């Protein structure tokens, strides 16, 4: 389990990186796996559009490198388990029976939606579904 600064580039001619090789990050909220899936989808789209070319890999790199860099950097200060920190702070680390007594559903949704937006997993940020 490692966290590395984002790489300046992933693609070198006809070679590129994907998933943890491109963007190692702490495995919180399955973010590494989720980003690898988004990487794969983007790479396939670029290869379909531009063929097996260095240009396709460069476009993939341009799109996904910037997106995953945001996730890597955000995870350092505001990781997917921010909800746990919020509940801990609001509860004073005292037992409770219902999460709703500590933090509202609206606040929980806001925290989750913010992470999904940055991670590219929200309905508004995700690429359009292909009709194949």
Instruction: Say what the pLDDT of residue 123 is.
Output: 53
Structural domain boundaries in the chain: 19-119
Phi-psi category of residue 13: left, alpha or beta, with phi > 0 → left and psi -120 to 50 → alpha = left
pLDDT of the chain, 132 residues: tens digit per residue: 677 899 999 999 999 999 989 998 877 777 888 899 999 999 999 999 999 999 999 999 999 999 999 888 888 877 777 888 889 999 999 999 999 999 999 998 888 888 788 877 765 554 443 333
Instruction: Say what the pLDDT of residue 114 is.
Output: 84
- pTM beyond cutoff 0.85: no
Phi-psi category of residue 21: left, alpha or beta, with phi > 0 → left and psi -120 to 50 → alpha = alpha
Rounded CA separation 75/1 (Å): 13
Instruction: Say what the pLDDT of residue 118 is.
Output: 81
């Amino acid at each position: 389990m490692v966290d590395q600064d984002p790489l300046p580039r992933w693609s070198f001619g006809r070679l590129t990186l994907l998933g943890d090789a491109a963007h190692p990050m702490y495995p919180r909220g399955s973010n590494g796996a989720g980003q690898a899936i988004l990487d794969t989808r983007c790479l396939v789209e670029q290869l379909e559009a531009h063929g097996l070319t260095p240009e396709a890999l460069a476009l993939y790199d341009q799109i996904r490198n910037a997106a995953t860099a945001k996730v890597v950097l955000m995870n350092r200060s505001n990781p997917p388990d921010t909800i746990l920190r919020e509940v801990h702070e609001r509860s004073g680390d005292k037992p409770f029976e219902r999460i709703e007594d500590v933090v509202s559903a609206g606040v929980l949704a806001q925290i989750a939606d913010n992470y999904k937006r940055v991670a590219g997993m929200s309905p508004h940020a995700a690429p359009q579904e292909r009709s194949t």
